[in-house]
Amino acid sequence: MDWPVAIAKGWHPVASLDEISSRRPHAARLMGQPLVLFRSGDRVTVLRDRCPHRGAPLSHGRMTNGAITCPYHGWRFDSEGRCIEVPGAAVCPSVSASVLPVRVEVGLVWTCLAETPPPFPTLPDAMRDADLDRFWWRLAPSEAGLLDALENHLDPAHPHFVHPWLVRPPDRRHPVSVAVRSGEWGAEAVYFEHRRNTALLSAVMEGSRARSIGRLWPPTIGEVRLESARGAMLSIVVVFTPVDVGVTRPWAHFASTRSWLPAIVKELALKAFHWPVLQQDRRMLRLQERNRTRERYATGPLDVLARPIWQHANGLPCPEEETRLEMSL
């Protein structure tokens, strides 16, 4: 498959830092490529999961003293991928396992398949703001196209149909003004709601909503930010990893303004509310994926972030643009 160029060359998270240990290798997958991750001291190493000797998967091997041993003939590779031991021989050939670049950011291990890695993507401020309550929700990969999943997270038009009563009432809409901006930095749609949303999620989690924002942090990060009239804020950032064709892993990060509610109570409540929502989205993304053809999608009047998502993924110029529109949500 030809991945859109900014995705093919981009930085992607492949593991959570706390999954990586010096005791056993961790297998991961990125755009169909098997990878193996391990730790030696403070250093995290990402290798292609293929021994240069006869191609056995290194992730089936074991770790000793910060080096990984291949399960087939026992060649050992250090944290820079160099072969440091061939059992039964006094010397090692000068070969290396293929090492990929690594960045550890916001508790995730990121890597890149490009020869020359691009600059690291800008991450949403809410991921680094020390004054917020936060948690990562660890979710398994699911059957979904990468850009479909990203767009789904930022799409205001499906909740009436896919999440009736949970996110939006199915049969009632009210006018919303939307300010859309896009540029090389990404894109955002700011929704100003004039009336209170009566669906369960809004009623319980937000009180009265002042505005909500859907923001693209290119190329693969979507943030939904809900701001209440009283100044409370909930940010849901999802980083989408292209695991394979039609398989996407979401890394969901929730951050919210501190309140009298203990962080753990908020975490449990947010997970409880979002669990059914997530299942509903996964079901629709799965149906969409199984129905895929090579035809391009049509863009409708409510698909306000579709174009910048596509432009950024494909490395196309995204000139500064600003529009205002009215819709009913």
Q: Which residues in this chain contact ligand FES in the complex, by CB under 6 A?
A: 51, 53-54, 56, 70, 72-73, 75
- Smallest distance, ligand FES to C-beta of residue 98, A: 13
Around Cβ 97, how many Cβ atoms within 10 Å? 23
Closer of 99 and 302 to Fe ion (Cβ): 302
Closer of 29 and 53 to ligand FES (Cβ): 53
Question: In terms of Cα–Cα distance, which of 41, 166, 49, 40 is closest to 100?
Answer: 49
Per partner kind, with CB cut-offs from 5 to 8 A, the member of ligand FES, Fe ion, none near residue 53 is: ligand FES
What string marks each residue from 266 to 305 as x (binds Fe ion by CB under 5 A) or -?
A: ---------------x------------------------
Q: CB neighbours of 107 closer than 8 A, spacing ≥ 6?
A: 16, 17, 18, 136
Closer of 47 and 132 to ligand FES (Cβ): 47
Chain centroid to CA 232: how far?
Answer: 24
Give the CB-nearest residue to Fe ion. 281
Per partner kind, with CB cut-offs from 5 to 8 A, the member of Fe ion, ligand FES, none near residue 281 is: Fe ion
Q: What share of the chain is helix, strand, coil (3-state, %, to 5)?
A: 20, 40, 40
Per partner kind, with CB cut-offs from 5 to 8 A, the member of ligand FES, Fe ion, none near residue 51 is: ligand FES
Q: CB neighbours of 172 closer than 8 A, spacing ≥ 6?
A: 198
- Smallest distance, ligand FES to C-beta of residue 63, A: 15
Give me the sign of the Cα torsion angle 297, 294, 222, 171. positive
* Site residues, Fe ion (CB under 5 A): 281
